[in-house]
A and B are shown apart, each in its own frame.
Chain A
Amino acid sequence: MDDHDHSHPHPAAADEAPPEYYEVMETAIRELLIEKKLIAPGEIRRQIEVLDSRTPALGAKVVARAWVDPGFRARLLTNGRAACEELGISFYDDTQLIVLENSDKVHNLIVCTLCSCYPRPVLGLPPDWYKAKPYRARAVREPRTVLSEFGTEIPEDVEIRVSDSTAIQRYMVLPQRPTGSEDFTEEQLAAMVTRDAMIGVVKVNFEHGINS
Chain B
Amino acid sequence: MAKPFPTPGLNVVKALGEEPAFKAGDSVRISVRYPVGHYRVPAYIRGKLATVEAVMEPPAVNNEEEGFGRNAGSRGHYFRVAIPLTALWPGYAGSLLDGLRIEVFETWLERV
Contact = CB atoms under 8 A, between A and B. Distances in A.
A103 B104 CA distance: 26
B42 to A, nearest CB: 5
Contacts, number: 77
Interface in B67-112: 78, 80, 85, 88-89, 93-95, 97-105
A162 interface: yes
A183 interface: no
Contacts of A87: none
Dominant SS among interface residues on chain B: mixed
A75 to B, nearest CB: 15
A143 B42 contact: no
Contacts of B85: 140, 143, 160, 162
Interface in B15-57: 40-42, 44, 56
A164 B100 contact: yes
Given A160-B98, A161-B101, A164-B102, A114 B42 contact: yes
A113 B83 CA distance: 15
A156 B40 contact: no
B98 A168 contact: no
A113 B101 CA distance: 12
26 contacts: A94-B60, A94-B61, A96-B56, A114-B40, A140-B85, A140-B100, A141-B89, A142-B93, A143-B94, A156-B95, A157-B95, A157-B97, A160-B85, A160-B98, A160-B99, A161-B99, A162-B98, A163-B100, A164-B100, A164-B102, A165-B103, A166-B40, A166-B104, A167-B56, A167-B103, A168-B60
Interface of B: 40-42, 44, 56, 60-61, 63, 78, 80, 85, 88-89, 93-95, 97-105
